Amino acid sequence: MAITPGKRMLRALKGERLDKPPFWLMRQAGRYLPEYREIRSQAGGFLDLCFSPKLACEVTLQPIRRYGMDAAILFSDILIVPYGLGQGVAFKEGEGPVLDPVRNASDLSRLSLDGFHERVAPVYETVTRIAEALPKETTLIGFAGSPWTVATYMAEGGGSKEFVAVKRWAYGDPEGFGQLIDLLVEATVSYLSRQVEAGAEVLQLFDSWAGALPEPGFRRWCIEPTIRIVAALKARHPDIPIIGFPRGAGTLYVPYATETGIDAVSLDTTVSVAWAAEALQSKLPVQGNLDPILLVAGGDALDREVERILSGFSGGAHIFNLGHGVTQTTPPETVERLARRLRA
């Protein structure tokens, strides 16, 4: 493919094979950085940090200053959407997110798009601030959770290992559960569209719990809503690249990548590089997929795995990333080691 000018991240998303893949890391702004912990201590609660444009902009920029990633991702959370719809959302130290559960039509009636943009307006201001502050070569990524994953948190009232509440609703009352998915599709399109208008240059959809579903449910609750979101966003913003991340999808990565209309697919740690290069990278750019714990371990183990991934995806468009987010116990020095290797 002919070389095109512009940001390396955007070039890779157009399908260009680069001599050095662009890189960024999921959760690259976070608790492993001492400068983040200092800001976090000033902010109050986690949602207070997400809704402070000044502070959220600052923590978004911190890893860019340290490591020079090719992309910055908005510092926010996927549960901003249910918060914007009127669901009670809180983050408790040591527990993570806690939500007032939504498990039936009566619960769903409490949610509404009315006032959504007003409730989440600080996020749009954060995007604008980041876009103005980033180095000219750095791409800004906006994001949202995919409907199935967000619905999981909404129905379970937080994280889950067995997904009993959300699956009971989805299997037992698919029409009623579909109303929640429809609401989330509409909210997600509107939310991401505003992020683009505020300055986001790429969008990523995080379907973190996609792997919890068997194939029929995966097609109905992951693929179909993603098709609708991507189509609606492309109708409003034809040139915006969209990355999909159906974590845990296994072989269902193929229909997800080829049927949803996404521009690139992000791979979790379990995906075989050789398989993905043949089955996925031959069709669209891929992103991933270093095990985040290798950033904790560091040393030769990290170096070997980086080389294996770079070699395995060297034949096509590739964005280097993790298979999930940076963990809290990651030494900042190992991220610097990774960054130096990827820039070399």
31 is catalytic: yes
**Ramachandran sector of residue 226 (left: φ over 0; alpha: ψ -120 to 50; beta: rest):** alpha
Residue whose pair of structure tokens reads 């954060």 in the numeric block: 126
168 is catalytic: no
Catalytic choice (31, 119, 220, 341): 31
107 touches 83 (CB < 8 A): no
- Strand-pair partners of 304: none
Catalytic choice (40, 129, 194, 228): 40
Catalytic choice (36, 83, 124, 153): 153
**Concatenated DSSP letters of 178-207:** HHHHHHHHHHHHHHHHHHHHHT--EEEEE-
Catalytic choice (32, 36, 70, 77): 77
Cβ-based burial of 299 (10 A; exposed 0-12, middle 13-18, buried ≥19): exposed
119 is catalytic: no
**Angle, CA of 11, 143 and 105, to the nearest 5°:** 145
77 is catalytic: yes
For residue 165, CA distances in Å to 172, 270, 327 come to 10, 26, 28
Task: For residue 239, give the 3-state DSSP assignment.
Answer: coil
Catalytic choice (8, 27, 129, 194): 27
11 is catalytic: no
Q: Which residues are catalytic?
A: 27, 31, 40, 77, 153
